Amino acid sequence: MPELPEVEQVRSSLVPHVVGRKFTGVRLDVPKMVLHPGVEEFQKSLVGRTITGVGRRGKYLRLELDNGMWLLVHLRMTGALLAVKKELPEPRFTHLVFQLDGPENLYFTDIRKFGVVALMDGDGYEDKGYASLGPEPLDAELTPQYLKEKAKGKSTVLKAFLLDQSIIAGLGNIYVDEALFAAGVRPTRRVNRITRKEWEALTIAIKAVITQGLEHHGTTFRNYQDADGHMGDNSRYLQVYHRKGLPCLRCGTLLKQIKVGGRGSVYCPHCQK
């Protein structure tokens, strides 16, 4: 699933293709992708509107429109937004086409069809996931005190805690495993047993792995690509994710994979306590 660095790369790569462009039509093959409003209303409301900006919050994209409405997009597992010249063939797995007034259309492709869009038109509709997002990893608000406070009285395992989008927005399996390794803490620890020093190490590690992911335009393993169809370069810098059974790059111990809260987690049994 695209996480913060990947979604941010999609955002910045979209800008030159779509900002200032007007919707001339919307073709929708998978109606369930539209969460709000109804399909016809969705299509009608977009046509004629100009895109004025592209924002991001957590793993959500926001396409801002000239009338104050905005389009919320979540790529989920395998979604992608591709800007492709109109004379070229439509990309594979296209389920939603935003026809634009320029030389390109914007294609929402999705192998698994879990991606969603919603038009935020000020009629009171709220996306629960979006509305409850916690601070961004690079916000000044994300501090060891903040995490310690949030963890108070909870016996959640650390991995699930860090994946909770209402605690921190934008982290997923890749960057959580990387941050846990960098901080030297095991994914299975209970959050009420994490020490002050460990929260400090975790905060630094989270900010570092996200910064590194952003610098390398995200991590591509299978499906993730940006609006130009480019892949991320960050996979070669990962220390533990996807390295089950390989030697730890720090100590040589073989990395272990376990399931934590239903998610595969790779860690070093020697370096992580």
Instruction: Answer for the pair 91, 109: CB distance below 8 angstroms, yes or no.
Output: yes
Instruction: Answer for the pair 62, 70: CB distance below 8 angstroms, yes or no.
Output: yes
Give min distance, CB of 76 to Zn ion, in A: 33
Question: Which residues contact residue 131 at a Cβ distance below 8 angstroms, ignoring those fewer than 6 apart?
Answer: none
Give min distance, CB of 236 to Zn ion, in A: 19
> Is residue 271 at the binding interface for Zn ion, with CB under 5 A as the rule?
yes
> Where in the sequence numbering do the catalytic residues fall?
2-3, 59, 263
Residue at token pair 């992580």:
272
Give min distance, CB of 245 to Zn ion, in A: 13
Residue nearest to Zn ion (CB): 248
One of 51, 72, 183, 268 touching Zn ion (CB under 5 A): 268
> Is residue 244 at the binding interface for Zn ion, with CB under 5 A as the rule?
no
In this chain, which stretch among 68-76, 112-120, 132-140, 263-271 interacts with Zn ion, using CB under 5 A?
Answer: 263-271
Instruction: Answer for the pair 61, 12: CB distance below 8 angstroms, yes or no.
Output: no
Task: Compare residues 17 and 186 and give the one whose CB is closer to Zn ion.
Answer: 186
> Is residue 30 at the binding interface for Zn ion, with CB under 5 A as the rule?
no
> Is residue 251 at the binding interface for Zn ion, with CB under 5 A as the rule?
yes
In this chain, which stretch among 67-75, 183-191, 197-205, 244-252 interacts with Zn ion, using CB under 5 A?
Answer: 244-252
In this chain, which stretch among 69-77, 93-101, 204-212, 252-260 interacts with Zn ion, using CB under 5 A?
Answer: 252-260
Task: Compare residues 179 and 214 and give the one whose CB is closer to Zn ion.
Answer: 179
One of 62, 230, 244, 270 touching Zn ion (CB under 5 A): 270
In this chain, which stretch among 4-12, 63-71, 190-198, 262-270 interacts with Zn ion, using CB under 5 A?
Answer: 262-270
Please state, in angstroms and rounded to a whole number, the distance separating the CA atoms of residues 190 and 158.
6
In terms of DSSP bridges, do strands 79-85 and 104-110 run parallel, antiparallel, or are they unpaired? antiparallel
Count how many residues are written for the chain.
273
What φ, ψ does residue 266 adopt, rounded to 5°? -105, 135
One of 36, 113, 250, 263 touching Zn ion (CB under 5 A): 250
Helices (H), the chain: 4-18, 39-46, 128-131, 144-151, 158-163, 173-183, 196-215
One of 100, 160, 248, 266 touching Zn ion (CB under 5 A): 248
Chain center to CA of 8: 8
In this chain, which stretch among 98-106, 185-193, 216-224, 247-255 interacts with Zn ion, using CB under 5 A?
Answer: 247-255
Q: Tell me the number of residues near Zn ion by CB under 5 A.
A: 7
Give min distance, CB of 146 to Zn ion, in A: 28
Task: Compare residues 83 and 255 and give the one whose CB is closer to Zn ion.
Answer: 255
Instruction: Answer for the pair 268, 244: CB distance below 8 angstroms, yes or no.
Output: no
State both tokens at 230: 């480019």
DSSP state of 135: -
Please state, in angstroms and rounded to a whole number, the distance separating the CA atoms of residues 168 and 138.
10
DSSP state of 210: H
Give min distance, CB of 270 to Zn ion, in A: 4
Please state, in angstroms and rounded to a whole number, the distance separating the CA atoms of residues 238 and 245.
14
Interaction site with Zn ion (CB under 5 A): 248, 250-251, 253, 268, 270-271
